[in-house]
């Protein structure tokens, strides 16, 4: 057995998001978000679940911090609900919303834990959706105003900030596929949304920097290494185009002010509403790249795909396939190594933070109250081992955040998918560390573990 040792000062953390854990939907003047509206619309969420109460972290955040402490974690990634700061998505800051996040962040600092806030984890104010949502160019300016207000008021409590969570996911699922809020099904709206988000990323970064100095700013990109499904050259080219769309569509504009060549017929500039000067506006020289990674993508050529990318992901089959989580996602640990090394190679060794990685398994408390989620331990062990290989090969990775600290509201799946290191009893709100949480706490304390 050899020991896997992470670099000194490596940060061990866990992640959550406002709508998924906070509850407190009707308290202290909070405005309605697209997820409040969507989850209350019949037939949208499995079992009719909503985030009205969720893990009740709005009232129980000290218990969450106690869990982080008991696992020896030094970083907590959470998100700020825009509608607590600006209930209608514009106008002056709402004092009680700011006070909530101030109390949370002060308590984290008190516990010796880095607060790593995300400005946008999918909960757009409904009032902004009513005036066009992300497909409307104006939303970029509204977002930059919100970013400025938030940094003005809370910038003294955190130096490290994440702008967006998984822009490729919320634009595709919310505007093209319609399975997430706000539930639209329009390719054109989805493409326009991607451009507004890219503009917003640049504008928000400039606004944040003008409010507070010494910030480290990143975005959490949902990434997945794209491998050709077959041996044909066409599949290899399709996998490369898919990589550009899935992994780089929000990264290239930020770092280089341009869109990657993902589409067969070039970037659909007119559909996206690209204007003169946007190349400069989109630029956001990120200080670190957040990577959220769950699985790999196998891709084959499909010249009839709706986007015009000429590619589609396919399910791994037979002996090429890894085991599945309860969500059906393939467990493929080397995906994390491959993705981190590809980004390290192509972007001149950027600073990387793993902002999410985790798995859904439903293991429930045994009669003795213990939660024996051994598959989750194996999942994290495998991915951490792969991440360590990437670091050994030269990647500059500074942190790892398990998704998630708590079982929580898993979007369209309601409460059916449990990703937590801690079990949550949704009747009582009680939290109990699972065996994986106990194991992860030891890894954090020892900054490594014995390899198998």
Among all residues, which ones are annotated catalytic? 166, 356
Residue with smaller CB distance to ligand IFM, 202 or 290: 290
For the bound state, the minimum distance from the C-beta of residue 20 to ligand IFM, rounded and expressed in Å, comes to 6
Q: Which of 35, 146, 245, 403 binds ligand IFM (CB under 6 A)?
A: 403
32 binds ligand IFM (CB under 6 A): no
Kind plus residue range of the DSSP H or E element containing 444: helix 435-446
Whether the CB-CB separation of 238 and 299 falls below 8 Å is answered with yes
Return the biggest CA–CA distance within the chain: 64
Residue with smaller CB distance to ligand IFM, 15 or 229: 15
For the bound state, the minimum distance from the C-beta of residue 419 to ligand IFM, rounded and expressed in Å, comes to 6
Whether the CB-CB separation of 28 and 97 falls below 8 Å is answered with yes
410 binds ligand IFM (CB under 6 A): yes
Name the DSSP class of 170. H
d(CA 362, CA 371): 10
d(CA 128, CA 135): 11
Question: Which ranges constitute the DSSP H helices of 48-186?
Answer: 57-70, 82-85, 95-110, 126-130, 138-154, 167-171
For the bound state, the minimum distance from the C-beta of residue 336 to ligand IFM, rounded and expressed in Å, comes to 14
d(CA 389, CA 394): 9
For the bound state, the minimum distance from the C-beta of residue 123 to ligand IFM, rounded and expressed in Å, comes to 11
Whether the CB-CB separation of 111 and 18 falls below 8 Å is answered with no
Based on DSSP, count helices (H) and strands (E) in the chain, helices before strands: 16, 15
Closest among 251, 245, 200, 190 to 221, alpha carbons compared = 251
Residue with smaller CB distance to ligand IFM, 147 or 359: 359
Residue with smaller CB distance to ligand IFM, 238 or 384: 384
For the bound state, the minimum distance from the C-beta of residue 401 to ligand IFM, rounded and expressed in Å, comes to 11
Q: Which of 32, 36, 203, 356 binds ligand IFM (CB under 6 A)?
A: 356
Kind plus residue range of the DSSP H or E element containing 399: strand 396-403
Name the DSSP class of 410. -
Binding mask 233-272 for ligand IFM (x = CB under 6 A): ----------------------------------------
Backbone angles phi, psi at 251, to 5 degrees: -95, -45
292 binds ligand IFM (CB under 6 A): yes
For the bound state, the minimum distance from the C-beta of residue 292 to ligand IFM, rounded and expressed in Å, comes to 5
3-state secondary structure of 290: strand
Site for ligand IFM in 86-115 (CB under 6 A): none
407 binds ligand IFM (CB under 6 A): no
Residue with smaller CB distance to ligand IFM, 143 or 419: 419
Site for ligand IFM in 414-443 (CB under 6 A): 419
Residue with smaller CB distance to ligand IFM, 250 or 259: 250
Closest among 296, 219, 310, 228 to 264, alpha carbons compared = 310
Whether the CB-CB separation of 333 and 386 falls below 8 Å is answered with yes
CB burial readout 438-448, b (16+ within 10 A) else e: ebbbebbeeeb
3-state helix, strand, coil in the chain (%, to 5): 40, 20, 40
166 binds ligand IFM (CB under 6 A): yes
Residue with smaller CB distance to ligand IFM, 78 or 419: 419
For the bound state, the minimum distance from the C-beta of residue 37 to ligand IFM, rounded and expressed in Å, comes to 18
Name the DSSP class of 425. -
Question: Which ranges constitute the DSSP H helices of 347-412?
Answer: 374-392
330 binds ligand IFM (CB under 6 A): no
Whether the CB-CB separation of 288 and 294 falls below 8 Å is answered with no
Residue with smaller CB distance to ligand IFM, 20 or 283: 20
17 binds ligand IFM (CB under 6 A): yes
For the bound state, the minimum distance from the C-beta of residue 19 to ligand IFM, rounded and expressed in Å, comes to 8
Site for ligand IFM in 169-228 (CB under 6 A): none
* Residue 387 Rama label (left phi>0; alpha psi -120 to 50; beta): alpha
Size of interface with ligand IFM, in residues (CB under 6 A): 8
Binding site for ligand IFM (CB under 6 A): 17, 20, 166, 292, 356, 403, 410, 419
């Amino acid at each position: 057995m050899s020991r896997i040792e992470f670099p000194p000062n490596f940060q061990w953390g866990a992640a959550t998001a406002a709508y998924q854990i906070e509850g407190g939907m009707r308290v202290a003047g909070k405005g309605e978000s697209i997820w409040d509206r969507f989850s209350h619309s019949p037939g949208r969420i499995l079992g009719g679940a909503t985030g009205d109460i969720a893990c009740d972290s709005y009232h129980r955040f000290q218990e969450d911090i106690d869990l982080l402490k008991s696992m020896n974690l030094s970083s907590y990634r959470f998100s700020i609900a825009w509608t607590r700061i600006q209930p209608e998505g514009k106008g002056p800051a709402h004092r009680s919303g700011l006070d909530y996040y101030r109390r949370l962040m002060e308590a984290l600092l008190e516990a010796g834990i880095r607060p790593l806030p995300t400005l946008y984890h999918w909960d757009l104010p409904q009032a902004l959706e009513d005036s066009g949502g992300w497909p409307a160019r104006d939303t970029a300016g509204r977002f930059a105003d919100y970013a400025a207000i938030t940094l003005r008021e809370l910038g003294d409590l955190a130096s490290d900030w994440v702008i967006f969570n998984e822009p490729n996911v919320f634009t595709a699922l919310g505007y093209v596929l319609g399975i997430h809020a706000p539930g639209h099904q329009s390719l054109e709206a989805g493409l326009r949304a991607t451009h507004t988000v890219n503009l917003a990323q640049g504008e928000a970064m400039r606004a944040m920097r003008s409010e507070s100095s010494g910030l480290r700013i990143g975005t959490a990109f949902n990434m997945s290494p794209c491998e050709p499904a077959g041996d044909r050259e066409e599949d290899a080219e399709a996998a490369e185009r898919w990589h550009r769309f899935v992994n780089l569509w929000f990264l290239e504009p930020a770092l280089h002010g341009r869109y990657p060549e993902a589409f067969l017929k070039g970037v659909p500039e007119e559909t996206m509403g690209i204007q003169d000067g946007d190349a400069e506006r989109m630029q956001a020289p990120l200080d670190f790249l957040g990577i959220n990674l769950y699985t790999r993508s196998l891709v084959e050529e499909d010249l009839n795909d709706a986007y015009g990318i000429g590619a589609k992901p396919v399910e791994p089959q037979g002996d090429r396939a890894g085991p599945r989580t309860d969500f059906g996602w393939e467990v493929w640990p080397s995906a994390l190594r491959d993705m981190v090394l590809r980004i390290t190679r192509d972007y001149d060794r950027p600073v990387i933070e793993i902002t999410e990685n985790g798995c859904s398994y439903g293991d429930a408390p045994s009669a003795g109250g213990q939660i024996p989620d051994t598959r989750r331990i194996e999942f994290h062990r495998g991915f951490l081992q792969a991440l360590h290989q990437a670091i050994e090969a030269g990647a500059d990775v500074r942190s790892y955040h398990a998704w998630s600290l708590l079982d929580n509201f898993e979007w369209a799946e309601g409460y059916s998918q449990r990703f937590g290191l801690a079990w949550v009893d949704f009747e009582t709100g009680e939290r109990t560390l699972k065996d994986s949480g106990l194991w992860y706490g030891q890894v954090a304390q020892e900054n490594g573990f014995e390899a198998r």
